Amino acid sequence: MATSRANEILPVLEQDIVTGKLTPGTRLDETVLAEKFGVSRTPIREALNRLSTSGLVEIRPRRGAIVAAISVQDLMNMFEVMADLEALCARLAARRITPAEKEALRAAHVDCHALSGTENFDEYYVLNLRLHDLLYKASHNSFLEKQVCELRRRLSPHRRLQVRIPGRILASSNEHGALVKAVIDGDAALAEKLTRNHVAIQGERFTDFLATLPSHYLQASA
């Protein structure tokens, strides 16, 4: 039950932090939050611990949890590494994917693409995660899969916001179509290139990404 309630509380706190409603340095008092959400302190503590693993919250001994400071440069560095890790997954997947995994990847893309003309942001985000998970598993490199999943957890709140950029669902789904085809066709070099471009934030996507961030990210970069 505590984990179930923590799962409900987590996205609310994530959203408040990445949109600037809760600014860096804000103390996250377990008792106050428990009263706000109408729960015991146990699911609050679990949610805060999970936010700590994603880098959004800093838990200090005997001082409790506070909202962590993070800059645009920090985020860009993480996205840069994420793009390379996912590109490597795609390259290996193109060489190692099994027939059953090909079918699962095709089906995942069909499900994502069905939402490409909608504004079902949260549903698309979940299906998008499923597609990328299949790509990681198809690399058949468990160490790489673990590393990319850990970094994805750090970036998850910001990737969730990206989906809400106008036109991003359609663009993302079209990019999925090309990279999925490359993986299934066994074109490792193309799969690597397309996946890196899909994950990396550059050009107009960088400007759009900045527009989703509250001002304190830019202040932290100064």
Question: What digits encode the pLDDT tens for the residues 149-164?
Answer: 989 988 887 888 788 8
Higher pLDDT, 204 or 30: 30
C-alpha pair distances (Å), 3 with each of 29, 45, 67: 19, 10, 21
Query: Domain of 40: which CATH number?
Result: 1.10.10.10
Query: Tokens 């611990």 appear where?
Result: 49
Residue 25's domain spans which residues? 2-67
Q: Is residue 126 part of a domain?
A: yes
pLDDT interval class at 48 (50, 70, 90): very high
Look at residue 185 and tell me whether its pLDDT is greater than 60. yes
Q: What is the average pLDDT value for the chain, to the nearest integer?
A: 89
Number of domains into which the chain is organized: 2
Classify residue 219: in a domain, yes or no.
no
pLDDT reported for residue 218: 58
* pLDDT tens, residue by residue, 107-124: 999 999 999 888 899 899
- Report pLDDT for 213: 72
CATH of the domain at 99: 1.20.120.530
Give the neighbor-by-neighbor strand order of the sheet with 57-60. Answer: 27-28, 64-67, 57-60
- Nearest in space to 121 (alpha carbons), one of 65, 168, 86, 64: 168
One domain for residues 162 and 194: yes
- Which of 45, 67, 89 represents a domain boundary (last residue)? 67
Tell whether 110 is covered by a domain: yes
pTM, full prediction: 0.79
Is 56:17 a contact under the CB 8 Å cutoff? Answer: yes
51 and 22, same domain (yes or no):
yes
pLDDT value, residue 5 = 86
- Report the pLDDT averaged over residues 138-148: 97
Mind listing the pLDDT tens digit for each residue in 164-180? 888 889 999 999 999 99
**pLDDT-above-90 percentage for the chain:** 56
Q: Specify whether 117 is located in the same domain as 141.
A: yes
* pLDDT for 143 beyond 80: yes
Same domain, 80 and 58: no
In a domain, 94, yes or no: yes
Residues 77 and 118 in one domain: yes
CB-CB contact of 16 with 54 (8 Å): no
